[in-house]
Amino acid sequence: MRRYLRGKLPEHMVPASYQRVERWPLLPSGKVDRQAVARQATVALAEGEGGQAPRTEVERKLAGIWEELLKLEGIGVEQNFFELGGHSLLALQVMARIRSIFEVELPVRSLFEEATIAGLAGAVEEAQRQGRKARTPIVPRKARVETGNSAEALLAQLDHLSSSELQTLLQRVLDSKPPA
């Protein structure tokens, strides 16, 4: 069925998994309970063959990213991200985490071209070898200061910003003011 659908549909529209359902779980309103269907599919996928375990540190980190975002465990290095339920929004999150963890710049299309952990690990390692660092610095999140209505709370927040962040904030304020 997958081969047939790949001939008729774009890759991102081919269903990630198939499952025979004897009876659709229904809500009291009579509509299909999509969450119950998703739970059944996740259980079926988790019980299925997971494939080869990660072999390198890069593959282990990538597997951790995928498992967290796809909410699955035991993902094999040769399993396809999109067949596991990944989609374009999750792909963006994967690439953002790769950028943060590995500090390399990879285009999003890398995940579409190398949709397995093994393939993507190769792309990450190649980017590291070529020295393709992230173009903008990775800035760790700062603890938020409790906001209040007082000027002291505002000053406390501004105190935690770097000079470049302050300049950017000031420029935004100036750009947003209507001309007098």
pLDDT digits (tens, 9 = 90+) for 110-127: 998 888 999 999 999 999
Mean pLDDT of 74-90: 87
Tell which residue, 144, 145, 107, has the closest CA to residue 124: 107
Would you say 82 and 115 are in contact if contact means Cβ atoms under 8 Å apart?
yes
pLDDT at 140: 61
pLDDT band at 105 (very low <50, low <70, confident <90, very high): confident
Within 71-141, residue ranges assigned H as helices are 88-102, 109-113, 117-130
Handedness of CA 9, 12, 13, 18 (dihedral sign): positive
What single-letter DSSP state applies at residue 14?
S
- Residue that has been written with the tokens 């938020």 in this structure: 144
| Residue 69 to residues 3, 91, 126, Cα–Cα distance (Å) | 27, 9, 24
| Stretch among 28-37, 79-88, 129-138 having the lowest mean pLDDT | 129-138
Residue 151 to residue 146: CA distance in whole angstroms:
12
Alpha-carbon Rg for the chain, nearest whole angstrom, is 22
The residue that leads in pLDDT, 110 or 180, is 110
pTM: 0.54
Q: Residue 54: CB partners within 8 Å, gap ≥ 6?
A: 60, 62, 63, 77, 117
The residue that leads in pLDDT, 102 or 5, is 102
